[in-house]
């Protein structure tokens, strides 16, 4: 009797274990319904949102072979890359453990971070789906699992030779606006995709999923849509376009939003529409028009139109706020000859952290004239430094300022015991539009104010377009001024040019130093 009871208990335990295993396997299969469901089931920090659910379902369609080209367009920082470039490859390997996955992005570092994250999922969760790293597969950018599949993480444009690809993920192929604006960079990206990338896809199972924030009409997404078309138009690409604010011009909204309704955000509850609207309203208010349409609405426009509005410029005028200058400067954009205006702008960095523009003596001038105007303005405002754009005249720009300062002292217009301000020549590394847009952003964010009414400079900011033949001297000079006084605003737009050795002079000019980024000429007394 005791033996029979023991056998029954043993059979009950086995049955319970079998049922538990069946439930576990069923749960594991349920998690593989789509990559976003998998992420939500395994990572308690992952927040499900309606737009991520739509993305997850589209990725599952790719996994089932219903689509082989998927393009996802969203604003920055809404969870698209985590879902697509990290959880989706892990989900794919759980489903097709013999497949090879390529994860590409604009830079090796970003791609490598994606690859390391996928690898960590395999290490932490892979056993549930019999997914294990191959022994000795230690390279973070190129690793395999025991069943034969694996991941290679590289920047776009390189690194796929000899690597068979079943799933190609292209995550933010453009680094920034400057990269997307570069025709050469875009051409290289398009050439890499059509040759090196597509040539690695395998015939048995292959798919390409691209995710990005839009930058330019001819960026990666723009070219794919133009050349291969959308599915609904008889083309190849399924496009999920999720603008920050729904708009009828984009057609039926993937989330079923009415025009004007905001996009959900991973860090804001979906039901809190007040906060969502406020979030996207703030993004719109603090972005220049061009960035709002491109980055947040996924609708890049040609580079045209005013940089800032006349209404904003009027709001920036402030002659009453008390502010203490911390550093006073003059900025010069030398004229290229002819009718070009030489920009000569004065201003200071206040103790409130803003740049205050105080003077505009720009005009169509020769080198002797603009250098004299810059010196007189620097002396009148007690400036400690003169920034001069170096691209056109190179060393001659520095020499012109030195010569004018010496002549003004010899003529008695500047006292002989006044030391010449430091001269900081800068070299522009970006085009005029790319240099000006970040400064327009500083204006939008109330980090630049005008200490008066500057009719000509304001008109230039509010009307100049990249197609205009005339050089915007006042815009260029004010940009260099802000970049000089707020270095953190400078994202590679200008660099400090090396200085030659300055000669000694008895005319009040201070002695020079060997050339280099830190070299300056002179300094003001007490500065």
Distance CA 265, CA 280 (A): 10
- pLDDT, residue 492, reads 54
Distance CA 186, CA 341 (A): 33
Distance CA 351, CA 327 (A): 9
Q: What is the pLDDT of residues 38-69, one digit of tens each?
A: 999 999 899 899 999 999 999 999 999 999 99
What does the DSSP 8-state code read for residue 37? H
Distance CA 290, CA 313 (A): 17
Distance CA 525, CA 527 (A): 6
Distance CA 138, CA 445 (A): 46
Per-residue pLDDT at 361 exceeds 80: yes
Work out the angle at residue 401's Cα, subtended by the Cα atoms of residues 397 and 404, and round it to the nearest 5 degrees.
135
Token output for 142: 């190129």
Distance CA 486, CA 251 (A): 42
- pLDDT, residue 506, reads 37
- pLDDT, residue 162, reads 81
Work out the angle at residue 274's Cα, subtended by the Cα atoms of residues 269 and 279, and round it to the nearest 5 degrees.
80
Alpha helices in 87-206 (DSSP H): 88-95, 108-125, 177-181, 183-192, 198-199
The mean of the pLDDT values for the chain is 85
Distance CA 219, CA 359 (A): 40
Coil, strand or helix at 522: coil
More confident residue, 230 or 162: 230
401 exposure class (CB count in 10 Å sphere: 0-12, 13-18, 19+): buried
Q: What is the pLDDT of residues 154-193, one digit of tens each?
A: 999 877 888 899 999 999 999 988 889 888 999 999 999 9
More confident residue, 506 or 116: 116
Per-residue pLDDT at 494 exceeds 70: no
Coil, strand or helix at 459: helix
Give Cα 74 distance to the centre of its chain.
14
Task: State if pTM tops 0.85.
Answer: no
- pLDDT, residue 509, reads 37
Residue 2 — very low, low, confident or very high, per pLDDT cuts 50/70/90?
Answer: low
How crowded is residue 38: how many other Cβ atoms within 10 Å of its Cβ? 27
Of 216-230, 381-395, 472-486, 502-516, which gets the smallest average pLDDT? 502-516
Residue 364 — very low, low, confident or very high, per pLDDT cuts 50/70/90?
Answer: confident
- In this structure, what are the phi and psi dihedrals at residue 210, rounded to the nearest 5 degrees? -120, 135
- pLDDT, residue 490, reads 58
* Alpha carbon separation from 117 to 22, 153, 423 (Å, rounded): 29, 11, 48
Coil, strand or helix at 228: helix
Report which of 364, 382, 446, 376 is spatially closest to residue 404, judged by C-alpha positions.
376
- pLDDT, residue 391, reads 62
Distance CA 79, CA 81 (A): 6
Of 33-37, 267-271, 459-463, which gets the smallest average pLDDT? 459-463
CB 420 within 8 A of CB 409: no
| Domain map (residue ranges) of the chain | 32-243, 310-496
Element (H, E) at 496: strand 494-496
Coil, strand or helix at 312: helix
Residue 522 — very low, low, confident or very high, per pLDDT cuts 50/70/90?
Answer: very low
- pLDDT, residue 463, reads 74
- pLDDT, residue 521, reads 35
Residue 520 — very low, low, confident or very high, per pLDDT cuts 50/70/90?
Answer: very low
- pLDDT, residue 136, reads 79
Q: Determine what percent of the chain is predicted with pLDDT higher than 90.
A: 59
- In this structure, what are the phi and psi dihedrals at residue 32, rounded to the nearest 5 degrees? -85, 15
Mean pLDDT of 111-124: 92
Strands 150-155 and 142-144: antiparallel
Of 244-258, 289-303, 312-326, which gets the smallest average pLDDT? 289-303
- In this structure, what are the phi and psi dihedrals at residue 269, rounded to the nearest 5 degrees? -55, 140
Of 162-176, 457-471, 495-509, which gets the smallest average pLDDT? 495-509
- pLDDT, residue 134, reads 92
CATH homologous superfamily of 32-243: P-loop containing nucleotide triphosphate hydrolases (3.40.50.300)
- pLDDT, residue 371, reads 95
- pLDDT, residue 20, reads 59
Q: Which CATH class is domain 310-496?
A: alpha beta
Q: What is the pLDDT of residues 94-111, one digit of tens each?
A: 999 999 999 999 988 888
Report which of 69, 83, 87, 81 is spatially closest to residue 106, judged by C-alpha positions.
81
Coil, strand or helix at 99: coil
- pLDDT, residue 160, reads 83
Report which of 48, 50, 33, 107 is spatially closest to residue 82, judged by C-alpha positions.
48
More confident residue, 520 or 15: 15
- pLDDT, residue 144, reads 94
Mean pLDDT of 80-90: 92
Of 8-12, 116-120, 254-258, 413-417, which gets the smallest average pLDDT? 8-12
């Amino acid at each position: 009797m005791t033996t029979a009871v023991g056998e029954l208990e043993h059979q009950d335990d086995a049955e319970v274990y079998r049922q538990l295993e069946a439930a576990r396997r069923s749960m594991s299969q349920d998690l593989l319904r789509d990559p976003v469901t998998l992420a939500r089931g395994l990572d308690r920090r992952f927040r499900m949102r309606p737009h991520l659910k739509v993305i997850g379902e589209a990725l599952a369609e790719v996994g089932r072979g219903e689509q082989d080209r998927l393009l996802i367009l969203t604003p920055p920082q809404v969870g698209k890359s985590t879902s697509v470039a990290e959880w989706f490859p892990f989900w794919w390997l759980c489903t097709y453990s013999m497949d090879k996955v390529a994860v590409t992005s604009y830079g090796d570092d970003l791609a490598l971070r994606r690859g390391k994250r996928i690898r960590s999922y395999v290490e932490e969760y892979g056993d549930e789906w019999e997914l294990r790293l191959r022994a000795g597969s230690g390279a973070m950018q190129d690793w395999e699992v025991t069943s034969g599949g694996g991941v290679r993480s590289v920047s776009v444009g390189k690194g796929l030779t000899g690597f068979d690809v079943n799933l190609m993920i292209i995550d933010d192929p453009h680094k920034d606006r400057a990269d997307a604006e570069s025709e050469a960079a875009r051409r290289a990206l398009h050439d890499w995709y059509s040759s090196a990338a597509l040539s690695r896809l395998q015939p048995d199972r292959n798919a390409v999923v691209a995710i990005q924030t839009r930058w330019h009409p001819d960026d990666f997404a723009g070219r794919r849509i133009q050349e291969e078309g959308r599915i609904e138009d008889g083309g190849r690409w399924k496009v999920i376009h999720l603008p920050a604010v729904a708009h009828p011009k984009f057609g039926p909204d993937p989330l079923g939003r009415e025009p004007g309704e905001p996009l959900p955000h991973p860090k804001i509850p979906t039901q809190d529409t007040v906060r969502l609207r406020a979030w996207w309203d703030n993004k719109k208010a603090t972005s220049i028009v061009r960035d709002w349409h491109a980055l947040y609405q996924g609708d890049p426009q040609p580079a045209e139109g005013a940089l800032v509005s006349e209404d904003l410029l009027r709001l920036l005028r402030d002659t009453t706020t008390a502010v203490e200058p911390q550093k006073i400067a003059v900025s010069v954009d030398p004229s290229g000859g002819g009718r070009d205006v030489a920009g000569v702008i004065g201003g200071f960095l206040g103790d409130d952290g803003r740049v205050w523009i105080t003077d505009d003596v720009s005009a169509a001038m020769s080198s002797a004239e603009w250098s004299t105007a810059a010196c007189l303005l620097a002396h009148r405002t007690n400036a400690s430094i003169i920034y001069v754009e170096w691209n056109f005249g190179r060393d001659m720009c520095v020499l012109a300022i030195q010569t004018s300062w010496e002549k003004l002292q010899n003529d008695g217009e500047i006292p002989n015991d006044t030391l010449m301000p430091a001269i900081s020549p800068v070299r522009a590394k970006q085009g005029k539009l790319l240099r000006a847009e970040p400064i327009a952003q500083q204006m939008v964010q109330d980090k630049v104010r005008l200490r008066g009414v500057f009719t000509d400079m304001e008109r230039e900011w509010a009307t100049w377009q990249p197609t205009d033949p005339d050089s915007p001297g006042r815009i260029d000079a004010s940009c260099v001024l802000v970049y000089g006084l707020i270095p953190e605003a400078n994202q590679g737009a200008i660099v400090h040019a090396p200085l030659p050795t300055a000669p000694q002079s008895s005319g009040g000019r201070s002695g020079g130093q060997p050339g280099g980024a830190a070299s300056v000429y002179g300094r003001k007394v007490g500065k």
